[in-house]
Amino acid sequence: MNLTPFITCAVTGGGDFASKSPHVPVTPQEIADSALEAHEAGAAIVHLHVRDPHTRRGSRDTGLYRELVTIIRERNQDVIINLTGGMGGEILFGPSETPLPGDPDMDFVGPAERMKHILELKPELASLDAGSVNFDEALYATTPSWLRAMCAGYLASNVLPEIEVFELGHIELAKQLMKEDLIRQPPIFQLCLGIKYGAPATPEAMTAMRNALPQNAIWAGFGLGAKQMPMAVQAVLLGGNVRVGLEDNLYLERGVLATNAQLVARARQILESMGAQILSARGTREKLGLATAG
């Protein structure tokens, strides 16, 4: 058991969640407010996407990211910022007879565009989706060469990759990138469980993925929906850290829509009742080898 876990809050995501809950933040100001409320509740790290304020859908607009990061840093120098590097990987195929060029609404770009905001803003962390995976009928697609390009960009900008893995093969690809000295040691992994057609949100799947990680890895894990809190507990029992937030789950309990701060507070309450002491942002910075933001 990890007696000193840190908590990451995944604040808004890029999926169609804003139409399902009034608590999902949309504008940079709303996302910043929700992120800082989650930090006050106990989240050391905030994992951030932005949304187009007009369409309310996920966006890669660097200007929105710049506005968001500026608002957070003007109010707080302590919280650790983790910007997504995963937008721009979605392929929506057309009918089986003519699958390409695909759905015109899909957002699919190369590695330079996926990390443009990261290289400009240089957050402490940025996510790196370490392989392709089916999200129901959508395909999140990347290649080893594209991941090498993103790793090189992160290294040059002194940004730590949070390696998001959705199945065991992604861990093997990440290990190859480590052999090529493209990922700073120790590596930081996020075990993503419960995504449709990815690894299931079960103790067995989390254990198998934990066992496949490099021995020096710092890792966290999460489950979607109703599995969010059970997988938070499982991650800590297996020696890892925790991610919760509205990107992964909209409910505090059955029929009760949550805020990010409420999800963080609930996870903290459960883990502290188990004897864990939640790491502050400062303690998490020390664990990850990060300097203070100021």
> Residue 294 falls within a domain, yes or no?
no
Quote the domain boundaries for residue 38. Answer: 7-288
> Residue 250 falls within a domain, yes or no?
yes
* Per-residue confidence in pLDDT tens, the chain, 294 aa: 999 999 999 999 988 888 899 999 999 999 999 999 999 999 999 999 999 999 999 999 999 999 999 999 999 999 999 999 999 999 999 888 989 888 888 899 999 999 999 999 999 999 999 999 998 889 999 999 999 999 999 999 999 999 999 999 999 999 999 999 999 999 999 999 999 999 999 999 999 999 999 999 999 999 999 999 999 999 999 999 999 999 999 999 999 999 999 999 999 999 999 999 999 999 999 999 997 765
> Residue 211 falls within a domain, yes or no?
yes
CA dist list (Å): 78 to 46, 66, 123, 202, 244 = 11, 18, 12, 33, 19
138-140 and 80-83 strand pairing: unpaired
What tokens does 247 get? Answer: 């990107």
Residue 291 parent element (H or E): none
User: What's the domain count of the chain?
Assistant: 1
Look at residues 229, 212, 44, 224 and name the one whose alpha carbon lies nearest to residue 130. 212
d(Cα 61, Cα 64) in Å, to the nearest integer? 5
Amino acid type, 188 = I
At which residue do the structure tokens 């990440």 appear? 174
Look at residues 192, 82, 79 and name the one whose alpha carbon lies nearest to residue 130. 192
> Residue 293 falls within a domain, yes or no?
no
> Residue 1 falls within a domain, yes or no?
no
Cβ-in-10-Å burial (0-12, 13-18, 19+) of 135 comes to middle
CATH at residue 145: 3.20.20.70
> Residue 16 falls within a domain, yes or no?
yes
> Residue 98 falls within a domain, yes or no?
yes
> Residue 182 falls within a domain, yes or no?
yes
d(Cα 185, Cα 173) in Å, to the nearest integer? 16
